Chains A and B, each alone.
Chain A
Amino acid sequence: MRIPTKLIAKLVLCFMPAIAWAAGKEITVWAWDPNFNIAIMKEAAERYKADHPDVKFKIVDFAKADVEQKLLTNLASGVTKALPDIVLIEDYNAQKYLQSFPGSFADLTKEIDYKNFAPYKVSLMTVNKKVYGIPFDTGVTGLFYRRDILEKAGYSEDDLKDLTWDRFIEIGKAVKEKTGTYMMSLDPNDSGILRIMMHSANSWFFDDKGHPALDSNPVLAESMSTVQKLFASGIVRPSNSWADWVSTFNQGEVATVTTGVWIIGSVKSVADQSGKWGVAPIPKLNIAGATHASNLGGSSWYVMNSSKAKKEAIDFLKTVYAGDTDFYQDILVQHGAVGTYLPSQTGPAYSTKDPFFGGQAEFLSFSEWLKNVPALNFGLYTYEVGDALVAQVPGLLQGGSVEQALKNAQRQAASLVQ
C-alpha cells in the first residue's frame, strides 16, 4: 500500500499553527542588559511557567539604544505586527513614548494595585490619570569605593560618611597623589552625574509648564560648577563610552564609582576584587535641600496594546512583578535588582552580609537610601536637556563661567523643545 506521505506532511503543516495555538500563547519580550533585565525576565518567566505550563516566552536581548529605536520606528510606521508583547522602557523615556504614541500601550489602571509600588515610579507612568506599565527597578545611587585603595591613602569607611563633593575632591586629590589612582571616571558626554546631583537636591530641569528652565536654577548651577571642579581637580579619568567606563573600575583604574545600584552586577563581575569594595552614601551638594540620596535610571515593563497575547502578558506581569515577593528576594540576591514593589522591601535577602563588599549588607543601605530619594517628575525632555548641558562641559573645562554655560544650554534646549 502506498502511503501518501506528501499529503500527510501537508496536512500536518496546515494544522501546525493550530496546534501551536492550542498549546498556548507566546509572549515576546524586548529588553536590554543580559546580566540584569534579561536574566531577571528569564527568571520571572520560569516562575510563571511553573503554574502556567501552556504559556511560552520569547525573551529578546538588544542593546538599549536598539530597543528604543526598534520600538520607535515600529510605532511611527503604524505597523504593529513586529512589535513585542512586553517591552522595557527607561523611566526618563516613559512620558515621551506614552505621549508621542497615545493608545499604543495597554492601560493597566484597573489591573494593578499601584499602592504597592513606590509612588515616584507610578507618577512617571501616569498620563491623564491613567497608569500604564508595571514599575520595575530603581536606580537608587551609592558611592562604590575600593577599600584597599582608600586605605592606602589613609582613609577609612568613616571618612566617607556625610561627604560633600568638596570633601570628595579633597580625598580624591590625596588618593591620586599617594596611590596614583584616579578617584573616579566620567564620560564628559554623559549627563548621568548631573542627573544624580540634581535628583539628590530634589530639583529637575523644567518649570511648571514642562519647559526647560536651566539658567535660573541654583541647584543646576551648583551641580555644573561641581562638575567643573571635579574635572579641574585632576582626579577624573575621562572615559569615552559605557564599555570604557565600566573597564575603568573593573581594571582598578579608579578608586570610586558613583552611580545606580544596578551597577552591582558589573562591579561583582571581577571575582578577584572580592572583599575590596564597599558602598557609602553619595556626596552631597553644597546647597540647601541637598541629600545623600538620589536615583539614576531605572526602568519599567509596558504591555503593548496591539499584543495578541495581551491578557496573558498582563496576567504574567501581575502575577510575578506585582505579587511574588519571593521573586524579588531572589533577583536582589542574584542580580542586585532593587525592585520598587513595596511589600518586598523587607526580608532576609536585604540583610545578607556580602563578602564581596567586605561583609557589608549593602542592600540594607540601598533600601534605606531609597526611602529618601525625592519623588520627581522627569517630564518629556530629559535627554534633550542632558544633551544641551553636556555640550557646555568642554567650555567649563577651559575655565568658562557656569552662568554663561547655562545661558547657552538654555538656548539650545529651548530650540529642541518645541
Chain B
Amino acid sequence: MARQQTTPMNRFMNVNGWAFVSVSLVLIALFSIYPVIKSLWLSTQVGMGVVTHFGGFSNIVRLANDPLFLTALKNTFIFLIVQVPIMIMLALVLANALNNPNLKFRGILRTAIFLPCVTSLVAYSVLFKSMFSYNGLINSFLLAIHVISDPIPWLTDPFWAKVTIIIAITWRWTGYNMIFYLAALQNIDRSIYEAADLEGASARHKFFKITIPMLKPVILFTTITSTIGTLQLFDEVMNITVGGPANATITLSMYIYNLSFKFVPNFGYAATVSYVIVLIVALLSVLQFKVVGREK
C-alpha cells in the first residue's frame, strides 16, 4: 500500500488529526477568538451601562481628546522606560554574580532573590503600602539613621509615588528575570571564559563581550515579557496608590478599571482603551525583534 499520509492535502483531510485538535480548537474559539471579536464590537458601542448604541469610530475620536487617557499612557511609558532597563540590568548583574562557582551560600542567595516573585501581587502591594506610608517602616528607618530630616511623602507626592511603584515592581520581578539568565548562563561553554582568562580579559570585559552577547535571545525574551507585564500593570497601582496622587500613577489598565467600575460604566470605551494596549504590545514586540534581529 502506498504511503500517502505525508502530503499536505492528505494531512489536512486526516479526520483523526482533526479529532485530536478539535477539543482545543473549540476551547480557543470559545474563550479566545469569540471574546476578541466581541470586544472589538463592544469598542464601537457608546452609552452607559446596558443602555448603549452603535457609535462607529466615536470612541476612537474620544480617545484622542481624552487628557486622562494621555496621562495614563504617559505614566505607563514612564514606568516602562525607567523600570524595565533598571530591572533587566539588575537581574543580569545578580545572575552573573550568583553564577560564580566560588561564591558561598549560592543556593540561599538565589532563593532569597527569587522568593519575591512567588508572593501574591496583592499581598506584597499591601505590605509595600504600609512600609511606605507616612509613618511607615521606610520613613522611620531613614529618619533613625539621619538620611532624611522630614518623612518622605512616598504615597502622597506625585514624584515619590512613581518611585514607590518602580521600587515595588523591581523588587517583585527582578528575581523572576534573574532565573532566566541563570539558566541561560549554564549553557555558555566554560571554555570560552577560560580562553578569555588566558588572553587576560578583565571581568568587565567578559561580562560585556561574552556574557551579554551570548544571552541575547534570553534578554530579548525577558525584555518583551517585562514590557508586556509593565503595560498591563494594575495590581500594584491599584493597591499601593489607587492611581493617585493626582493620577500620577494611573496606568492604562487602571484607567480601564475606572471606566468600567468606578465611573459611570462605559464598557465600550473601556474596550477601546484595552485595544490600545494590544496595539502597543504588538508594536513594541515587533520593534524589539527588529532591533535584535538586525544586529545578527
Say which one of A72-80, A261-269, A336-344, A348-356 lies at the interface with B.
A72-80
User: Could you tell me which residues of chain A, from 38 to 90, have a CB within 8 Å of some CB in chain B?
Assistant: 65, 68-69, 72-73, 75-76, 78
Per a CB cutoff under 8 Å, which of B48, B67, B133, B244 touches A244? B133
User: Could you tell me which residues of chain A, from 239 to 269, have a CB within 8 Å of some CB in chain B?
Assistant: 239-241, 244
Beyond A75-B49, A415-B66, whether A189 also contacts B244 by CB under 8 A is yes
When distances are taken between beta carbons in the complex, the residues of chain B under 8 Å from A187 are: 156
Number of contacting residues on B, CB 8 A?
A: 35
Per a CB cutoff under 8 Å, which of B153, B263, B266 touches A383? B263
Beyond A240-B133, A244-B134, whether A101 also contacts B50 by CB under 8 A is yes
- B51 and A99 form a contact (CB under 8 A): yes
Min CB distance B133 to A, Å, is 6
Q: What's the Cα separation between A194 and B264 when bound, in Å?
A: 20
Beyond A100-B50, A100-B51, A101-B50, whether A394 also contacts B264 by CB under 8 A is no
Q: Which of B68, B153, B258 has the most CB of A within 10 A?
A: B68
Min CB distance B33 to A, Å, is 20
Say which one of B83-91, B199-207, B219-227, B245-253 lies at the interface with A.
B245-253
Instruction: Tell me whether B285 is interfacial, beta carbon within 8 Å.
Output: no
Q: What's the Cα separation between A408 and B153 when bound, in Å?
A: 24
Q: What's the Cα separation between A380 and B264 when bound, in Å?
A: 7
When distances are taken between beta carbons in the complex, the residues of chain B under 8 Å from A239 are: 134, 156
Per a CB cutoff under 8 Å, which of B46, B246, B261, B267 touches A188? B246
- A101 and B62 form a contact (CB under 8 A): no
Instruction: Tell me whether B116 is interfacial, beta carbon within 8 Å.
Output: no
Dominant SS at the A interface? helix
Beyond A99-B51, A415-B67, whether A394 also contacts B248 by CB under 8 A is yes
- A383 and B262 form a contact (CB under 8 A): yes
- The closest CB in chain B to the CB of A73 belongs to B261
- A189 and B245 form a contact (CB under 8 A): yes
- B264 and A96 form a contact (CB under 8 A): yes
Interface membership of chain A positions 89-105, coded 1 if the CB is closer than 8 angstroms to chain B and 0 otherwise: 00000001101111000
- The closest CB in chain A to the CB of B257 belongs to A69
Instruction: Tell me whether A406 is interfacial, beta carbon within 8 Å.
Output: no
Residues of A in contact with B, size category: 35 or more
- The closest CB in chain B to the CB of A390 belongs to B246
Min CB distance A78 to B, Å, is 7
When distances are taken between beta carbons in the complex, the residues of chain B under 8 Å from A102 are: 50-51
Q: What's the Cα separation between A395 and B49 when bound, in Å?
A: 33
A selection of 10 A-B contacts at a CB cut-off of 8 Å is A100-B50, A100-B51, A189-B156, A238-B153, A240-B241, A241-B129, A391-B247, A393-B246, A415-B65, A416-B68
Residues of A within 8 A of B (CB): 65, 68-69, 72-73, 75-76, 78, 96-97, 99-102, 187-189, 237-241, 244, 380-381, 383-384, 387, 390-395, 408, 411-412, 415-418
Given contacts A244-B133, A390-B244, 6 further A-B contacts (CB under 8 A): A69-B261, A76-B49, A189-B245, A238-B134, A241-B129, A408-B67
Residues of B within 8 A of A (CB): 46, 48-51, 62, 65-68, 129, 133-134, 153, 155-158, 241-242, 244-248, 258, 260-267, 269
